[in-house]
Chains A and B, each alone.
Chain A
Amino acid sequence: MFDRRLLQCFDWGLLFLTLAISGAGLVVLYSAIMAGAGAPDPLLFRKQIIWYGGGLVAMAICFTIDYKQIERFGNIIYLVSVVSLILVLFFGKYVSGARRWLYLGPFSLQPSEMAKIAVVIVLSRYYAKIISTEGLTFRDLAIPTILTAIPFLLIARQPDLGTAIIIVLISISMTLFVKIERRTFTWMGVACGVIIPLSSFFLHDYQIRRIRTFLDPTQDPLGAGYHIIQSKIAIGSGMITGKGFLMGTQNALSFLPEQHTDFIFSVLAEEWGLAGASTVMLLFLLLVVWGIRIAGHCREPFGVILSVGITAMIACQVVINIGMVMGLVPVVGVTLPFISYGGSSVVTMLMGIGLLMNVSMRRFRFQ
């Protein structure tokens, strides 16, 4: 089964890119965790390195198994993921108002992170069978809608709105890539244009207010708006060259909220300036472009759609997270891949990279 060509075609560039981003991520995370008193638990940094070890193993597993096998067991993977999402609602660890973590010995896992990959796999499997140049009709869309809705609702219930939204965005990206039939698409557009304004009639005042604050956090300068203001100050004050490693005042003096998870890009931009932040952004762009190129080199639909799905996952999180900390996108809890602290996030992202490598190194089958 093992083919020598697998090794020849191994995607070293992708590995290098991934390690470069991860390395930069660890440097920034070190600062976010260690700088200043009253910062998060210093043990978190060591924990993250252990997670990286585990993540690299998971990545290796993901590229070793032929993705054809993964396609075959796609339904089972999805089912396991949904079951773990149900389990977490009942047995999950309750942390600051949400049940997101399942205990696995000394470590805890976030099933919602794994669910992203499961949704990508199950949708790729489905779309690969029905893909056509005409595009998808309403009937074709029924099953993908259900497949997305189940994890979305389960995750939103935890509640973890950020991850739930990411799952929907991945699903939408993949569906648009596969193409929606023109008339269906038009009808969907019309439906959205009617339903959204109408819905405001049926919502209570406080619900509308809540949505408004969500869209425009400056209306709430003590809550969400405060975080965004401090984050913008952190990024802007980095200027071109940054304040230097461990020297970010916004970070060290805990003006930044969640500086080691959601707002880690602000730490990067504050301490390393435009030079550091744009370098990391370019690395991300390169990674996404690389993912699209892998899809382009693949010669069969499942591989293409899978690559697109994984790439969409990475791209969505990067764009939303960076957009969010710079005040372009409403604040939803979305982590920055490879850089934010979080074991499940790291493992999920490295598994995604493993799947991309998987597709990339097996492209020779069609040459």
Chain B
Amino acid sequence: MTNYLDSVNSDWFNHRLGVAMTLVITAFVVLMARLVYLQVVEGADFRRQSELNSIRVKIVDAPRGLIYDTKGRLLVDNRPSYDLGIVPRAAVPLDRTLETLSHLSGIPTEQLYKPIEKIKDSKNYNKPVWIGPDIDRNALAAIEVNRWDLPGIVVNVSPRRDYLFGPSAAHILGYVGEISEDELKSTTYRYYRVGDYIGKYGMERAREPWLRGKRGGQQVAVNAVGQVVRVLNTVDAVPGHNVVLSVDHSLQVVAEQLLSDHSGALVAVEPDTGQILAMASSPSFDPNAFVSGMSHEAWQALITDAQFPLTNKAIQAEYPPASTYKVIAAAAGLEEGLIDETTTFFCPGFFKLGNRTYRCWKRWGHGEVDIYKALSESCDVYFYKLGQELGVDRLAWYAWGFGLGEVTGIDLDHEAGGLVPTAAWKKRRTGVSWQKGETLSVVIGQGFNLTTPLQVAMMTAAVGNGGTRYRPRMIKTIQTADGRDLYAAVPEVRGQLPVSKRNLEIIREGLFRTVNTRTGTAFKSRLQGGIMSGKTGTAQVVGRREDDSGRGQESVVKDHAWFMAYAPHNHPQIAVAVILEHGEHGSTAAAPVAANLIRFYFSGDMQAEKTAGPGTGASSGQE
């Protein structure tokens, strides 16, 4: 055995071991203190952090309600949109991943990189950043196949609004868009969040609370790269309600085709209910472009277009009613007892008031004119004489009685009310007293008169149905997603025309002759069986366009062409108002449009669809 005890003895060792023991215990005390600090002092805080780490609340947006036409044909749908996201933490190396992704998706690398750049300094490197909204199916397939080569890439499916027929009925349907910052601040949109899509125009906007639905949510556990590993809690989203329009899609398409070469509008309405069958405004726009976000240039082009594609001319644009107003003037004359069916005036082609001469549109005159001829040949001189005796204020009273000068109350936003001038109105507005000559302008529907195509259509419907004014309706029913009716439009009477049955029959006869007698202004557009009655109108443009110089000069000088019609004559099922801006003459431009529409409406195609019956398809849950 070694004789080591001489120099290094057991006590010496034990002393050094004691020091070592102290050091070890000190180290462990420090560790223990740290452990207590982390688990006891800061424990609750770290527990919360661990929950935040792994538990996320995932918003599940409700699918927006769908929109159908009156026969249950789907007009507005939701389609899946595949959005590309990236979890920057997991996507390493980032540059290579983005390059591969760019190659597969066809989106430039810089564009993919932009959203990542934005969050670079924040702590959200664990959350996905959305870099490619709405990628197409080919790109999606390519990405799915190459998933292994794309670390940290996620694909999210979200519903996106799809206007199935593009620009067709765009003014009625409207469009959705991402909520703006200003809208978020307003109380109307209290419960909305950044990135939500809301109705911005048309039905989408007017019925936003119905279409919207109720968002749901999921409490999920995610792992370190953000993948959902478990769903802890779910609150189901409630889909929005479906809206069934009274519009008939096939009729709507025909109406749009008939208008396609013009700037103008058309309204077709069911006289007995006030339900809108078609409402077209030309030119139109594609609402799908708004959903995916429009470029600044595209937006500028839309809003500076001289033909105002974004305006629903059927309810927002106001035009002088022109000769369609003669229906009102005739009613006033008959009711006030100034004329009856036997009264005649002589039309030499002009009318003298003081030292001014007012011309009839027919230069050589109509000769002896009674009320039937005055309407069917649209004799101005007959109405000049009548107007002179009636005066502007009495005319105004009848105009109001026919629904002009106030909104019709249709279930769409931004409806314009038009204008019915009176002497008091002019004095208030301009400070100048009413001039007798101005009455002559008013009585033939020019001058200060302003109406919307919808107002003319509703007036036509009332004349057609025997005198009852209905409120126009665009929505037929609103249903829950499973097909339960929440609302069904019932015809709402707004009033009766201030005309007796007998006098109304005189006017209706005048309108019948307009189309169905050889001298009538719309004879060329007559329909087989003489079912259509109507009234032409030509609104003078130059006179009221002095302050509106923004439009192309060559068409500015041309007049607007009007036509109002209903059919069949005895018990009308459809009433139509058409205006073609700068169409020149109601008889040559507008009347054929209305005639073609009505012909289609009573054609085999439409009737075959009709027997299929409404209410099919719209609500699969009912069947």
Contacts and interface: CB of A to CB of B under 8 A. Distances in A.
B89 A274 contact: no
B130 interface: no
A316 to B, nearest CB: 10
A38 B46 contact: no
Given A177-B16, A278-B35, A285-B24, A237 B8 contact: no
B17 interface: yes
Interface in B202-222: 221-222
Interface stretch (A206-214, A248-256, A354-362): A248-256
* Residue with the highest number of chain A CB atoms closer than 10 Å, among B2, B27, B31, B36: B31
Contact of B223 (A235, A253, A296): A253
A308 B16 CA distance: 11
Contacts of A249: 50-51, 53-54, 221
Contacts of A366: 1
A281 interface: yes
Interface in A249-295: 249-250, 253-255, 269-270, 273-274, 277-278, 281, 284-285, 288-289, 292, 295
Chain A at the B interface: SS class? helix
Contacts of A273: 39
Interface in A344-367: 365-366
Contacts of B7: 131-133
B38 interface: yes
B93 interface: no
Given A222-B89, A255-B53, A326 B38 contact: yes
Given A237-B49, A319-B27, A300 B125 contact: no
A285 B27 CA distance: 10
Contacts of A42: none
Nearest to B221: A253
Given A133-B12, A296-B13, A296-B17, A281 B31 contact: yes
Given A236-B42, A239-B44, A319 B36 contact: no
B113 to A, nearest CB: 17
A274 B34 CA distance: 11
Q: Which of A253, A281, A296, A308 has the most CB of B within 10 A?
A: A253
A131 B5 CA distance: 11
A193 B222 CA distance: 49
B450 to A, nearest CB: 66
B53 A236 contact: no
A93 interface: no
A299 B39 contact: no
B353 interface: no
Nearest to B123: A221
A133 B9 CA distance: 9
Interface string B346-363: 000000000000000000
A229 to B, nearest CB: 9
Contacts of B32: 278, 281
B229 interface: yes
A230 B39 CA distance: 14
B606 interface: no
Nearest to A316: B27
Contacts of A285: 24-25, 28
A98 interface: no
Nearest to B47: A237
B154 to A, nearest CB: 15
Interface string A55-96: 000000000000000000000000000000000000000000
A179 interface: yes
A300 B5 CA distance: 8
A211 to B, nearest CB: 24
B45 interface: yes
A149 interface: no
Nearest to A132: B7
Contact of A232 (B1, B30, B46, B224): B46
Contacts of A195: none
Contacts of A131: 4, 7-8
B306 interface: no
Contacts of A237: 43, 46-47, 49-51
A222 B125 CA distance: 8
A360 B181 CA distance: 77
B157 interface: no
Interface in A184-203: none
B40 interface: yes
B24 A277 contact: no
Contacts of B40: 239-240, 274
Given A233-B46, A235-B38, A249-B54, 12 more contacts: A177-B20, A233-B50, A237-B47, A237-B49, A238-B39, A250-B54, A255-B223, A274-B39, A277-B39, A299-B10, A301-B2, A326-B34
> Which 7 pairs from chain A and chain B are nearest by CB?
A236-B46, A237-B50, A239-B43, A253-B223, A237-B47, A236-B38, A237-B46
Interface of A: 36-38, 131-133, 177, 179, 221-222, 230, 232-240, 249-250, 253-255, 269-270, 273-274, 277-278, 281, 284-285, 288-289, 292, 295-296, 299-301, 304, 308, 315, 319, 322-323, 326, 328, 365-366
15 contacts: A131-B7, A133-B8, A235-B46, A237-B47, A254-B223, A254-B225, A270-B50, A274-B40, A277-B39, A281-B35, A285-B24, A292-B24, A315-B24, A319-B28, A322-B31
